[in-house]
Amino acid sequence: MTQLRAVMEAPHIARAVRVLCAAGHDRDVSRVVLLEDAHGLVGASSDSIVILTTAASRDLARYGLVMAVRRAATRSIPALCLTDFNDQNLPSTARDLAIHYGITVVAISPGVDLAQLITAAHDEMLGGVGRLLARAGAASETLNRADVEESSVSDVVATVSDELGIRITARAPAAGELGAQVIVDGTDEAWFTVPATRSSDDVITSLVLNRLAQVAEHQMIAARRASQRPILSRAAVLSELLLTDADNAERLVPRARRLGVPIDGWLTVIRLEFDNLGRLTRGDEVLSHELALTVAAHALDAATRHGGSWHRAAVGSAAILVRADRTEPKSMVGEVTEVARAVIADVKAKFPDLVTYCGVGGSYLGISGMRTSAAEASAGATAARAAKQPDRPFAYFGLGFRRMLLQFYALEGSRAMIDHLLEAIDRLGPRKSREAIRTLEAFLNHPHSPSRAAAELGLHRNTVAYRVRQLFEFLELDPEDPEHRLMLQLACRVRSL
């Protein structure tokens, strides 16, 4: 036996009926009977939900309805369902009788398929897979509507939970739970989880859960695209301002101001260069571009959470974050460098396999200042590459005289020369290569004082001499050749930035 309330309050049935009197909701039911004539009520059993067809319902005038309730009462029928009953309320006499004898009276909504309603009620009473299938069908209809309408994800989750009769939570599944993952633009955005029953019911529930995740993905993508349109418009103008020459940049000023692009205040640039997009996307250029946009959007969100007015642009695959201040910042790059550090940590948490090189420029006024800051941020990212230190911001202003080395390393020929010169050392691995560079740099910084080089390294002078001799032989360089020494010293200095 099933309580009538559970049947009538099942979401897919509740949407199909209007309750006129709920006096029988606490009674038990086990069958559904369809009658084409109200006189048939005298033969119905006391555990029946009785549905009167359109013809039978129309034959009931107000007095006839009272008589129908009386007949239901004589058989102790728990529920009487009327088809095409347009009145908002029952006649008072019929209502009083229904309340007295504990009879629920409902009006079936126009257009409802009686066969489907009977099947749904029957499935609710039987329970098991049939009940779950009926509820899953109703949930699927809700999800299909939500997929073409603007519904919030939380509202959809609440509705589907009610229809399934299972509480859906927005978190990753634990052991013994079913889960469906929401992936937006290649990144994990959410999970939906329900308890597992370890029965065939789990297959049906999983199908609904995965459809819910798909709808949530579509809604999230639509919301993200809508919110990013103005951001992308500003990003396009900022990118043009950074890439074009000074004359064309001035011509972009009116358009930039209309879009709210910061061009009149003090501007500071963070540059993020993503080193392994191709490897992460298996060489797919389209996917690499999409991943770069996704990471850039995430970086902008992270920067904004730390305060200040932030905007983004793109130069090639690099993401450019621009902070705008109305007045000159008290700290030229200190605060922005801390934000850059937090942004990198946030990006690393979301995309753990991504390798990022970061540079931070100084704060300058206006368009020309922004271009200067962008150039310095690019130099900072170059310093990070030269030092082989990813996921750490390099502030150009903090590099002092080493900026000259950066300008040297920025030349394509210089980079190729240094990388070729130190290629053999790089193959030793991160720890051994750092130790080798440090040893060579100490020796080359003190060419006439082996003792000072040894003291700087905390080693015996004979140990230093032996290691240096081994390294020069390994690199196939002559320690007595001034050009070899100068070239190696420049390379080591760049790597030590």
CA 59 to centroid of chain Cα atoms: 58
Q: How would you write the pLDDT of the chain (497 residues) with one tens digit per residue?
A: 788 988 888 877 888 899 999 999 999 998 899 998 888 888 888 999 999 888 887 777 555 888 888 889 989 999 999 988 888 888 889 999 999 999 999 999 888 889 888 888 888 887 766 777 777 877 888 888 888 877 788 888 888 888 887 888 888 888 888 988 888 766 778 899 988 888 777 888 888 899 988 888 888 877 666 555 454 466 667 776 676 666 666 666 776 667 667 777 888 999 999 988 888 888 888 888 888 888 888 898 899 988 888 888 888 888 889 888 888 877 656 788 889 999 999 999 989 999 999 989 888 888 888 888 888 888 888 878 877 789 989 886 655 555 556 556 655 666 677 777 888 888 888 788 888 888 888 888 887 787 888 888 888 888 888 888 888 888 888 888 888 888 888 777 777 66
pLDDT of residue 342: 92
pLDDT of residue 106: 93
Residue 363, classed as helix, strand or coil, is strand
Cα distances (Å, whole numbers) of residue 163 to 4, 119, 138: 17, 16, 7
Give residue for tokens 């937090």: 342
Beta strands in 304-387 (DSSP E): 309-315, 318-325, 356-365
Partners of 51 in the beta sheet? 34, 81
Partners of 192 in the beta sheet? 180
DSSP H stretches of helix in 86-181: 92-101, 114-126, 128-146, 153-164
Sequence-ordered list of residues with C-beta below 8 angstroms from that of 252, at least 6 positions apart, any chain: 237, 240, 241, 244
pLDDT of residue 78: 93
Cα distance between residue 181 and residue 33, in whole Å? 43
User: Do 253 and 361 contact (CB within 8 A), yes or no?
Assistant: no
Residue 93, classed as helix, strand or coil, is helix
Number of CB atoms found within 10 A of residue 462's CB: 10
For the chain, what is the radius of gyration of the CA atoms?
Answer: 37
β pairing state of 48-52 and 79-83:
parallel
Q: Which candidate, 369, 377, 376, 360, places its Cα nearest to that of 264?
A: 369
pLDDT of residue 244: 67
In the numeric block, which tokens belong to residue 271?
């540059």
pLDDT of residue 398: 53
Cα distance between residue 52 and residue 67, in whole Å? 14
pLDDT of residue 411: 59
pTM: predicted TM-score of the whole model, two decimal places? 0.45
Exposure on the CB side of residue 361, measured as CA atoms within 13 A: 26
Give residue for tokens 């997009």: 277
pLDDT of residue 478: 85
For the chain, which domains are there? 2-126 (3.40.1390.20), 128-222 (no CATH), 262-410 (3.30.70.270), 411-497 (1.10.10)
Q: Which candidate, 170, 315, 137, 295, places its Cα nearest to that of 238?
A: 315
Cα distance between residue 305 and residue 313, in whole Å? 18
pLDDT of residue 42: 82
In the numeric block, which tokens belong to residue 424?
């053999």
Dihedral class, residue 344 (left if φ above 0, else alpha if ψ from -120 to 50, else beta): alpha
pLDDT of residue 331: 64
Q: Which candidate, 157, 138, 141, places its Cα nearest to that of 12?
A: 138
Residue 272, judged by CB atoms within 10 A of its CB (0-12, 13-18, 19+), counts as buried
